Amino acid sequence: MGEMQHLTARRMVDLEIDGEPVRVLEGSTILDACRGLGIDTPTLCYGETLRPANVCRVCVVELEGARVLAPACSRKVEPGMKVRTDSERVRHSRKLVLELLSSSVDLSTTPAAAGYLERYGAEPERHGPPAPADPGRDRRRAGHHEEPDGQTAATAASPIKIDNELYVRDYSKCILCYKCVDVCGEQHQNTFAIAVAGRGFDARISTEYVAPLPESACVYCGNCIAVCPTGALMFTSEHELRAEGVWDEARQERTDTICPYCGVGCNLTLHVQDNRIVKVTSPDDHDITRGNLCVKGRFGVQHVNARGR
Amino acid sequence: MDLRLLEVSPTGAERAAVDGLLGPPASGWDGGERRTGATGNVARGGHRARARRDQLLPVLLAVQERVGWISPGALNYACQRLTVPPADAYGVASFYALLSLEPRPSRVVHVCDDLACRCSGSGALIAELEDRLGPEGAVAEDGGTASAWFRSPCLGQCDRAPAALLTIAGDEPEEHVLAPARGALPGLEGAAVDPVARVPQQGEPGLRLLRRVGRVDPRSLDDYRAHGGYAALRRACELGPEGVIRELVESKLLGRGGAAFPTGRKWDAVARQPARPHYLVCNADESEPGTFKDRVIMEGDPFALVEAMTIAAYATGCAHGYIYLRGEYPQARGLLEHAIAEARRRGYLGEDIVGHGFAFDLEIRRGAGAYICGEETAIFNSIEGFRGEPRNKPPFPVDEGLFGKPTVVNNVETLVNVLDIVLEGGSAYAQIGTDASTGTKLFCVSGHVERPGVYEVPFGSTLGEMLSLAGGVRGGRSLQAVLLGGAAGGFVRPDELDLPLSFEGARAASVTLGSGVVLAFDDTVDLPRMLMRIAAFFRDESCGQCVPCRVGTVRQEEALARLLGGRGRGDELALIAEVGRCMRDASICGLGQTASGAIESAIGRLGVFAGKG
Amino acid sequence: MFGAGGGTSSYQEIEETDVILLWGSNARDTHPIFFHHLLVGVHAGARLFVIDPRRTSSAQWADAWLGLDVGSDIALASTMAREIIHSGLHNRAFIERATEGFRDYAASVEPFTLEEGERLTGVPAEAIREAAHAFARADRAMICWTLGITEHHNAVDNVLALINLGLLTGHVGRYGSGLNPLRGQNNVQGGGDMGAIPNKLPGFQDIERDVEARAHFEAAWGVPLDPHRGWHLTQMFEGMERGELRTLYVIGENPAASEADVRRARRLLGGLDFLVVQDIFMTQTAEMADIVFPSSASWCESEGTVTNSERRVQRVRRALDPPSDARDDMWILTELARRLGHDWGAPTAEEVWDELRSLSPMHRGMSYRRLEELGGLQWPCPDEQHPGSLFLHGRLWLEPREGPPAPFSVVEHRPPFEALDAEFPIRLTTGRRLESYNTGVQSGRFRSPLHKGGAICLSPEDAERLLLEDAEIVRVSSRRGTVEAPVRIDPGLRSGLAFMTFHFPGEVDTNVLTIDATDPRSGTAEFKAAAIRIEKIVRRASDGSAKVGEPAPALGR
């Protein structure tokens, strides 16, 4: 009764980060080790509930003896590793990564972006004025592009997608972190309604043949929105309140409770503003949901706001 | 898997293309006709169904070949048969340039407009096509057949430039290489005679890798054996797996794919892995602009590759191997398919190979137009049926490669070296070339030279000797620059022709041999335009996964465009250097890490744009 | 199960099991987050068998889907059991040490050869054999089920048949192996735990047999307790029918829409002397009430706990102020008591919980503080040092075994109450969809693109045979009544099987069709098996009046 299954002993690994010795569990990442030391490492594509995609490269660190930099989020510690997290080389790549992102993507609703840009002295504007949105972006073919004149900086901008009453998708804000695809796919939801389509700079998140969400496999669990780090994916409720200028996280109370539907017992975090539920999330660190919900838990709770009560 | 499909059905031809590869559906539950009785009280799926994911790209290619594009109905049906979600399959299909997700005419000409072909008349060829078929991508009626043409990156036919690839969709699909494709495109009607692989040094003594090319009948196993074929496999079986690896280690053979990793160490690492099965992957996705050596071997001496892979499998404990062949090599594919079938028929592949009690078989997987799939981990994702995105390393392929299992991945040229190493012994092999770069090397000489082609020389020969072998600069003009190692390599100046062509020599001169490209540009060439082509190449071929490469290749091209257009802001050279450094340092794979190399070398070594910022 | 009514295992265990039998459950749609855990197991290599008449979204994940005919679950389980025994794959050591009644059980399944199983269930013998062997040979294996097992006239026998399989193979009482009913409502487990079962006091203490426990409660509450069991829902309706039950107090239920043979239910509710309904909405039942108590939403407008399918007690918290007229359930109850002359004071949720802990040993260690800190606790949790219980019945594996042996139960295959015939040739089964919930009181109020409304789902084969098109309105009749509904062609259905939900009673009153054949022990009706016919409605172009076509031809099975 209630006995623990395995208590496998794990080895410890000694390494050095910025000259400081540190000892962490085998299997930890450099990011874990940095956090243990209180070193603030920028991350964008990293998600607590997901396997590291290690694609944004804003967390890169320098390893002594290595030809290239390594992503802290996914690189496992090794004995004797010597890590630099703030060398000129690291700062250069982080700065450039932020410039490249910021010059091609609208980061206005990415909470962490402004701080990072400032910290690394990124100057996205030196890559040129941003190019306007391209309605044809979703249909671009791999291996083909128009030769640029270099007078504007190409961007991911494309028209906002509103094709249902629950989600708003503004891929002009998408940094292609893969988190929505990963959470919709094998790592959690297993619905696979979206994938990365196209290639290179034209890569984008897409349904099959750019089908509107109601025609796609989407089941509106909202787990993609929960992991989106940039606000490219947003609940309609938040989108509309922002448009009205009413959205105010400072005035929102967050209360954890249990979903009123089936018997799984999912933890809901209700974001309440003016006695209305404006958003529903789930704690990343609870074993039942790991941050995920289904459509009922995510949206079906609006009945308490409904008229007729 | 609970798939939700779009509400469209496949056409008969689309169904036939998919079923042709997968066989007919088992019941109404997996795409078969819904009839009472055909949809019984049991349906199977699960792990076994999902394990067929690796058939996705072959199925998509089959549809593309047969129908000319991949319609929603065709994708639906492929997804249903393979238990792959449609969005996922769309993501895969849209990754590859040879697959079209929009209607295309049955006849399509892919015209190379890359570096070598630009030196040999691709511009005129494109003008001719524009004249005949209209602008790129437009559908034109041509001789009663709907046709279109598209630009293509290097087609690997640089020794017979300018080149084009013709595809004709239909129940009996055709694919033809038109090279050289000059003058009214004679092959456009589909009656093209596919050119035969030749090497300028044919028959010369001292050739090792090219010994049989042009001399042996590539369709005859007996002729191959008459020319010494399968002696190495016999010898390998005498040596035993450990013995083969010992010889390989002694030979000091370094991988020819670009990274120059010791092959013996790689094989040893896989051989020792307790995890099973082990896989062998031959990287034949030769796509580096200016590279065509592997094609020449595969077309000229296909059994050599089959034999070499058999030895590799024997030494490293692989029961299954893949040749990942670039999609633009229809001739190599035909010859290799024939060679594999012949070898299987004669007991050189299969359960009990020539009575030595080990089993090995191999299959060809075609690429579909993606340079990145030549990256050693992207190749795994592509074979497995995913987007050809490179994986982060570690873990390395020898630990977790194809299907997560220990995997040997070697380039064609590397593998073919094994034959002589096994036959004559590692130490004898190590006498050839230099101390650190043993053996011979194939170089792909093209551009403005008299006799473009694949040349085999011992390591340590100089760049100048190489150009002399190819007859020097064409038409007696003077040399402006040489692109060494391909788009991922770098430029050298005419005053550097005494550069020794060895790994260590290249390293000392801060260049790379890469895939063995020696592309000569004479004094008429507009080098900045060539740099734009290189920048466009990387922008097109970046997989898009990591930020440095995805956006960096775009910013690099934009900065070059400003310099070219004379509308720079004065900081372009600094910007190119800074972006380049970030791509080199922080990209996931070799593509991003080398995407600025040639451009930066042109700026730094040749002084292109000197004084412009 | 063997005393305490709860699933034996934890969600984390299904991630580490080897074989999963998902039986009569479309968890992909009805327990989506549980299915996440299941798929972690599948991706880690577990083999999944789904046993369901429909090829549901869950079934599409299965290594093998066994599409048994509706109501043949016991025949299938017995066939598997016989195959396991005859192949020598039953766990003899476990059976000997931890169970009783094996001999009789083995004899009872003896007639169920693979051939007989195929005849009774429709599932090919080879598939039954494969599932039986996979389950029996697994190091770890789980059976999970829901209403496909329990919404039958022989619900309890169905459950016992699955328990038998677990005992036969020893797949219970160990990490990664177990028997798990997935609970349909966020506190259906908690309701049972709290004694909302006719014969149980909180903590599954038997009001009739456990004199000592009853005495504890009497002492704590200061009143004598009726030592006899009460009625379950079906018995209450029977009581109404007999005129014995005249007053009903309904809290958070909507029987006027959710009961099988709902016309009868409405008639009986309408005939009551006095009906009180306490709900957050004006439901169909509330519309019939003499008095309605508008209440706060228990899960977000008040404090308390609920218990989930892995026996985890978790806190619900007040995040919103209820609408002005609505009152907390606890306030209503204490106020009601006060007006009936009992002063229960005004206890907080925590005070009520602490009283429960003082009386229910399995909850004793679950203080609010610990529930907060640990993100919930799984019962039994007898003291404040106890970490809670991942799985139940570990005692069966102890040497020597603790407690009584687990009994095998001899159960009989009895097909659905209502057989198909020429007049009603199609089998109707009902169930739930991902985006909706029961009668739609809560789920009908958000704007989901998945809401498609009520419909009758038919196989492509039947639609073709009946000359019906998608979205066409048809007349659906059972012996109890008729509804009109649009056709939805569902490729997950076999010929002869139709499917409906009761999520949209205002559009399609599905429960007019269902039958109230009820399991006498559990009180659940046979929602899963009715006999229906489907008639095309021929519209005349001229006057728009409808004419019912010829009855559909018999489809056979």
Quick check: do B440-522 and B527-606 share a fold?
Answer: no
Task: Tell me the per-residue pLDDT of C255-313, one tens digit each, with 9 for 90 and over.
Answer: 998 888 999 999 999 999 999 999 999 999 999 999 999 999 999 999 999 999 999 99
Chain C residues whose CB is inside 8 A of the A1 CB are 380, 389, 391-392, 394-395
Pick the CATH number of B221-430 from 3.10.180.10, 3.20.20.70, 3.30.70.260, 3.40.50.11540: 3.40.50.11540
Task: Tell me the per-residue pLDDT of B173-216, one tens digit each, with 9 for 90 and over.
Answer: 999 898 888 765 655 654 455 678 889 999 899 999 999 999 99
Domain residue ranges of chain B, discontinuous segments joined by +: 12-93, 107-181, 221-430, 440-522, 527-606
Interface probe for B, chosen from C128, C461, C489 (most Cβ of B below 10 Å), is C461
Smallest Cβ distance to B87: which of A75, A103, A208? Answer: A208
pLDDT at position C402 is 87
Interface probe for A, chosen from B70, B555, B567, B589 (most Cβ of A below 10 Å), is B555
Chain A residues whose CB is inside 8 A of the C184 CB are 262-263
Percentage above 70 pLDDT, chain C: 96
Q: Residue A275: closest CA among chain C residues belongs to which residue?
A: C320
Distances from the Cα of C437 to the Cαs of A218, C29, C299, C320, C446, in angstroms?
19, 10, 16, 22, 12
Contacting partners of chain B (3+ CB pairs under 8 A): A, C
Q: Give the ipTM.
A: 0.96
- Angle (CA) B518 B519 B520, round 5°: 115
CB-based contact C278:C250 (threshold 8 Å): yes
How far, in Å, CA of B379 to CA of B321, rounded? 13
pLDDT at position A58 is 98
pLDDT at position B376 is 95
- Shortest Cα distance, chain C CAs vs residue B41, angstroms: 4
Q: Residue A283: closest CA among chain C residues belongs to which residue?
A: C375
Smallest Cβ distance to B44: which of C64, C121, C459? Answer: C64
Contact B546 A55 (CB under 8 A): yes
C521 vs B332, residue with greater confidence? B332
Q: Residue A277: closest CA among chain C residues belongs to which residue?
A: C320
> Is B610 part of the contact surface with chain C (CB cutoff 8 Å)?
no
Domains and CATH numbers, chain A: 9-128 (3.10.20.740), 167-305 (2.20.25.90)
pLDDT at position C540 is 59
Average pLDDT over residues B361-384: 97
pLDDT at position A307 is 59
Task: Tell me the per-residue pLDDT of C227-246, one tens digit each, with 9 for 90 and over.
Answer: 999 999 889 999 999 999 99
How far, in Å, CA of B580 to CA of B583, rounded? 5
Question: Which residues have a Cβ under 8 Å from the Cβ of B238 and sit 6 or more positions away?
Answer: none
pLDDT at position C542 is 55
What CATH class does B107-181 carry?
A: alpha beta
pLDDT at position C78 is 98
Q: Residue A270: closest CA among chain C residues belongs to which residue?
A: C319
How far, in Å, CA of B583 to CA of B550, rounded? 9
Chain B residues whose CB is inside 8 A of the C494 CB are 39-41
- Shortest Cα distance, chain B CAs vs residue A308, angstroms: 36
Contact C445 A303 (CB under 8 A): yes
pLDDT at position C1 is 53
Task: Tell me the per-residue pLDDT of B559-590, one tens digit each, with 9 for 90 and over.
Answer: 999 999 988 899 999 999 999 999 999 999 99
pLDDT at position B194 is 67
Average pLDDT over residues C355-369: 97
Average pLDDT over residues C488-504: 94
CATH number of B527-606: 1.20.1440.230
Task: Tell me the per-residue pLDDT of B290-313, one tens digit each, with 9 for 90 and over.
Answer: 999 999 999 999 999 999 999 999
Fold classification of C11-181 is Dimethylsulfoxide Reductase; domain 2 (3.40.228)
Is the pLDDT score of C551 beyond 60? no
DSSP A243-307: HTT---GGG-EEEEEE-SSSTT--EEEEEEETTEEEEEE--TT-TTTTT---HHHHHGGGGGG-T
Q: Residue A291: closest CA among chain C residues belongs to which residue?
A: C33
Strand A70-71: give its sheet, edge to edge: A20-25, A12-17, A82-84, A60-63, A70-71
What CATH class does B440-522 carry?
A: alpha beta
DSSP B40-59: -SEEE-HHHHHGGGGGHHHH
Is the pLDDT score of C4 beyond 70? no
Task: Give C109's pLDDT tier (boundaries 50, 70, 90).
Answer: very high
Quick check: do C11-181 and C426-548 share a fold?
Answer: no
Average pLDDT over residues C448-462: 91
Contacting partners of chain A (3+ CB pairs under 8 A): B, C
Task: Give C387's pLDDT tier (boundaries 50, 70, 90).
Answer: very high
Is the pLDDT score of C543 beyond 70? no
If one counts every other C-beta atom within 10 angstroms of the C-beta of residue B564, the result is 21
Smallest Cβ distance to B42: which of C61, C123, C461? Answer: C123
- Shortest Cα distance, chain A CAs vs residue B97, angstroms: 5
Smallest Cβ distance to C280: which of A253, A302, A309? Answer: A309
Task: Tell me the per-residue pLDDT of B130-157, one tens digit each, with 9 for 90 and over.
Answer: 998 999 999 998 888 899 999 999 999 9
Distances from the Cα of C371 to the Cαs of A199, B407, C365, in angstroms?
49, 49, 10
Tell me which long-range contacts C1-6 makes (C-beta under 8 A, separation of at least 24): C1/C163, C1/C179, C1/C392, C1/C393, C2/C393, C2/C404, C2/C406, C2/C407, C3/C204, C4/C204, C4/C362, C4/C380, C4/C392, C5/C192, C5/C193, C5/C197, C5/C204, C6/C189, C6/C192, C6/C193, C6/C311, C6/C379, C6/C392
pLDDT at position B381 is 98
Average pLDDT over residues B339-344: 98
Contact B1 A190 (CB under 8 A): yes
What residues of chain A score a pLDDT lower than 70?
Answer: 1-9, 307-309
C537 vs C553, residue with greater confidence? C537
Q: Residue C67: closest CA among chain B residues belongs to which residue?
A: B41
- Joined together, the tokens standing for residue C93 give 């050591």
Is the pLDDT score of C553 beyond 90? no
What CATH class does C188-378 carry?
A: alpha beta
Is the pLDDT score of C5 beyond 80? no
Helix (H) or strand (E) holding C279: strand C274-279
Average pLDDT over residues B519-529: 97
Average pLDDT over residues B535-549: 98
Chain C residues whose CB is inside 8 A of the A276 CB are 320
Domain residue ranges of chain C, discontinuous segments joined by +: 11-181, 188-378, 426-548
Q: How many helices (H) and strands (E) does chain A have?
A: 7, 12
Task: Tell me the per-residue pLDDT of C61-104, one tens digit each, with 9 for 90 and over.
Answer: 999 999 999 999 999 999 999 999 999 999 999 999 999 999 99
Task: Give C443's pLDDT tier (boundaries 50, 70, 90).
Answer: confident
Task: Tell me the per-residue pLDDT of C118-151, one tens digit each, with 9 for 90 and over.
Answer: 999 999 999 999 999 999 999 999 999 999 999 9
> Is B545 part of the contact surface with chain A (CB cutoff 8 Å)?
yes
How far, in Å, CA of A99 to CA of A118, rounded? 11
pLDDT at position A304 is 83
Pick the CATH number of C426-548 from 1.20.1740.10, 3.90.1150.10, 2.60.40.1120, 2.40.40.20: 2.40.40.20
pLDDT at position C554 is 40
- Joined together, the tokens standing for residue A284 give 């990343």
Chain C residues whose CB is inside 8 A of the A302 CB are 445-446
> Is B102 part of the contact surface with chain A (CB cutoff 8 Å)?
yes
- Shortest Cα distance, chain C CAs vs residue A309, angstroms: 6
- Shortest Cα distance, chain B CAs vs residue C390, angstroms: 28
Average pLDDT, chain B: 94
Contact A195 B546 (CB under 8 A): no
pLDDT at position B185 is 62
- Shortest Cα distance, chain A CAs vs residue C147, angstroms: 12
